[in-house]
Amino acid sequence: MFVIRILVVEDEVGLADAISEILRREGFMADTANDGKTGLEKALTGKFDCMILDIMLPGMNGLDVLSYLRVKEIEIPVLLLTAKSEIDDKIKGLDCGADDYLTKPFVTGELLARIRAMTRRLGTVPDINPKFGDITLELKKGELICGTGSVVLGRKEFQMMELLVSSAGQIVTKEVFADKIWNGDYEGAYNNVEVYISFLRKKLQSLKSKVQIKTRRGIGYCLEVMG
């Protein structure tokens, strides 16, 4: 079971990053876009389960992004962010097909409650920690656990390990890593996958795990439990 992926479209970079960090700590995966056009492009990839969308954005505003998605019949749940002075926008936003809205400034608990309510409607159960062999991925803390030991994984490391663990010994190709983690940026993925795999191997070794990441040359990677 994959983690729910949330797209955060917000032009205040600090706020966008803070929101995605909060989401990540709660076991979601988050990606950000800092303008409307980029947000729309990312939403159109179909790789996100849920979207947090600010209304006031440079270039293309949040309501235009939302209208475009709904015209294209993309039914991704959308939580609109509005400033206090934009009361009319809330009504417009709901008319445009937003699922919910949140007025800025908001507190973390309020944001998470809205997100949980929206993602519950997706019918997915994200809080089962994936396991393979003697390892467990702790989704909320972003940790790789083996026995009594644990290490925190970087975001991309964690996403890669999650794909490997979820595949339960089946090969994960570089194309899949590129699609799921690098949003289809094949060049970026190809330059980085091997590096992250080597980090993950070191971490598995440091935990003395019996799980190893095997290279299937020219194809991809898979997990194996050594005897």
Nearest residue (CB) to Ca ion, 60 versus 151 = 60
Q: Pick the piece of the chain touching Ca ion (CB under 5 A) from 55-63, 114-122, 167-175, 184-192.
A: 55-63
Binding mask 116-155 for Ca ion (x = CB under 5 A): ----------------------------------------
Determine, following the binding rule CB under 5 A, whether residue 89 of this chain makes contact with Ca ion: no
Q: Pick the piece of the chain touching Ca ion (CB under 5 A) from 22-30, 46-54, 137-145, 154-162.
A: 46-54
Nearest residue (CB) to Ca ion, 54 versus 162 = 54
Q: Pick the piece of the chain touching Ca ion (CB under 5 A) from 1-9, 27-35, 43-51, 56-64.
A: 56-64
Q: Which of 26, 31, 49, 54 binds Ca ion (CB under 5 A)?
A: 54
Determine, following the binding rule CB under 5 A, whether residue 56 of this chain makes contact with Ca ion: yes
Q: Which of 11, 138, 143, 175 binds Ca ion (CB under 5 A)?
A: 11
- Secondary structure (H, E, C), the chain: CCCCEEEEECCCHHHHHHHHHHHHHCCCEEEEECCHHHHHHHHHCCCCCEEEEECCCCCCCHHHHHHHHHHCCCCCCEEEEEECCCHHHHHHHHHHCCCEEEEECCCHHHHHHHHHHHHHCCCCCCCCCCEECCEEEECCCCEEEECCEEEECCHHHHHHHHHHHHCCCCCEEHHHHHHHHCCCCHHHHHHHHHHHHHHHHHHHHHCCCCEEEEEECCCEEEEEECC
Scan residues 187-206 and list those touching Ca ion (CB under 5 A).
none
| Chain positions contacting Ca ion, by CB under 5 A | 11, 54, 56
